[in-house]
Amino acid sequence: MMRLELVKRPQRSMLFSALSPFIAFALTIIAGAVMFALLGVNPLTAFNIYFIEPISQIWQLHELAIKAAPLILIAVGLSVCYKANIWNIGAEGQFILGGIVGSMLPVLFPQFEGPLVLPLMLLLGMVGGAAYAAIPALLKTRFGTNEILTSLMLVYVAQLFLDWLVRGPWRDPQGHGFPQTIQFNDSAVLPELMPDAGRANWGFVFALVAAVLVWILMSRMLKGFEVRVLGSSPRAGRFAGFGLNRMVFFAFLLSGALAGLAGISEVSGAIGQLQPVISPGYGFTAIIVAFLGRLNPLGIVAAGLVLALTYLGGEAVQSALGISDKVARVFQGMLLFFVLGCDTLIHYRIRLVGLALTKPEGVAKLEAAPKLKEAR
């Protein structure tokens, strides 16, 4: 009888910490090849269609930027939360609320046009996302609820609220009964960056700016220091005079605002109206992006582009090979699995322990409590 045990390494390798995302990506490719082979497709053909063809032309790069923008925006905000050891899993809901609140202007006041409309919409979107994120923050600080559960459950509330809005009060009366709002007027549409070359809009610029600003915040400013201290050793943070409750609100409001900005950018830029579904799971995929980017805003930009490609590739293999676009979800899941696996093995090594030799669980690594362990 053998048993696996994780033993903490005395120090982690700097080299492998840096290489880990690449190793994880390589492992994903290998596992993906096995999956394609099992589906009866030549893996090389599939990879060409999945990873190469979707980015071989300029307009396709624009599509990539459209998909990457919300992922990066959301993941940058989440990275602050996760660095602070605060687990906001509900970015999908904050994204949707940002889309809804930002859309109030073009949907409820379609006559209101001009240069002010767009900035106001973006601002409303950020406020909407932040306000929705404030709910789990309030519940956590006031009642000690687990923010993972509350923020996640609020996602479903947001999804159903959007569904009700576009089928009920906000439905386009001229829309032949389709569950959608009116098309936004021109001044409420996020402009494209280079209309001649492709569809990419200003959302991608927002994402890059947010990444740089948050990078400065985290690495150069006292607030970022506060985030890191409270996340890694809360008692030292209290000794420093940093308040944990204030930090919960800061992290949730910041990540909620960025998710809300992503939501309204997506609705106003890529879609142009509200529909029952406005996100293919960006808020959840962004969690993978945040970790693949090692919670570093600049790494997140690269990771966001990679994950955006898995979406495009999923659509491509569906149309070219007739494989379900759920393949994209499988790739994303494998990527997260391998990233977390690599990170674990950087911090721990695996040891095989023979059960037959030593009596009960008598391996006393907890030197102080061997007696207690054996008592069972």
Partner 1 sequence: MSANQDGTNLLEVRGLTKIFGTLTACDHIDLDIARGEIHALLGENGAGKSTLVKMLFGSLEPNAGEIFWNGQAVRISSPGVAKKLGIGMVFQHFSLFEALTAAENIALSLDDGSPISSIAAKARALSFSYGLPLDPESLVGDLSVGERQRIEIIRCLLQTPQLIILDEPTSVLTPQEADKLFETLERLRSEGKSILYISHRLEEVKRICDRATVLRHGKVVGHCNPREETASSLARMMVGNEVQAVVRAPVEGIDKAQPLLEIRNLSRQPATPFSIPLKGINLNVRAGEVIGIAGVAGNGQGEFFESVSGEVLQQDAASVRIRGKDSGSLTITGRRLLGAAFVPEERLGHGAAPRMKLSENLLLSRHATDGKAFVGSGGMVKSAAIQAASQRIIEAMDVRKSAPDPEAAALSGGNLQKFIVGRELDRRPSVMVVNQPTWGVDAGAAAHIRQALIELSRSGSAVLVISQDLDELFEISDAIAVMHNGELSKPIPIAEATFEKVGLLMGGAEPGHAEHTLETA
Judge contact between 79 and 245, C-beta under 8 A: no
CB of 59 to partner 1, least distance (A): 41
Nearer to partner 1, 38 or 352 (CB): 352
Residue type for position 311: Y
Residue type for position 114: G
For residue 5, report the phi and psi dihedrals to the nearest 5 degrees.
-135, 140
* Residues between 233 and 252 that touch partner 1 (CB under 8 A): 233, 235-241
* Residues between 177 and 236 that touch partner 1 (CB under 8 A): 220-223, 225, 228-229, 232-233, 235-236
CB of 211 to partner 1, least distance (A): 18
Judge contact between 100 and 162, C-beta under 8 A: yes
Residue type for position 229: V
Nearer to partner 1, 240 or 277 (CB): 240
Nearer to partner 1, 146 or 358 (CB): 358
Helix/strand/coil (H, E, C) string of 41-78?
A: CCHHHHHHHHHHHHHCCHHHHHHHHHHHHHHHHHHHHH
| Torsion on CA atoms 11, 13, 17, 22, rounded to nearest 10 | -150
CB of 245 to partner 1, least distance (A): 13
- Bridge partners (DSSP) listed for residue 2: 354
Select the residue interacting with partner 1 from 14, 15, 352, 375 (CB under 8 A). Answer: 375
The answer to the question of residue 370 lying near partner 1 (CB under 8 A) is: yes
Nearer to partner 1, 176 or 376 (CB): 376
The answer to the question of residue 369 lying near partner 1 (CB under 8 A) is: yes
CB of 218 to partner 1, least distance (A): 11
Q: In 10 A of CB 276, how many CB atoms?
A: 15
Nearer to partner 1, 9 or 326 (CB): 9
CB of 372 to partner 1, least distance (A): 6
The answer to the question of residue 40 lying near partner 1 (CB under 8 A) is: no
Cβ contacts of residue 259 below 8 Å, gap of 6+? 73, 74, 77, 91, 92, 94, 95, 98, 129, 133, 283, 286
Judge contact between 268 and 86, C-beta under 8 A: no
How far is the C-alpha of 372 from the C-alpha of 376, rounded, in Å? 8
* Residues between 5 and 34 that touch partner 1 (CB under 8 A): 10
CB of 234 to partner 1, least distance (A): 9
Tokens of 147: 């923010």
Nearer to partner 1, 227 or 328 (CB): 227
Nearer to partner 1, 1 or 38 (CB): 1
* Residues between 347 and 366 that touch partner 1 (CB under 8 A): 357-360, 362-365
CB of 217 to partner 1, least distance (A): 9
CB of 363 to partner 1, least distance (A): 6
Cβ contacts of residue 193 below 8 Å, gap of 6+? 200, 201, 202, 204, 205
Residues that bind partner 1 (CB under 8 A): 10, 220-223, 225, 228-229, 232-233, 235-241, 357-360, 362-365, 367-372, 374-375
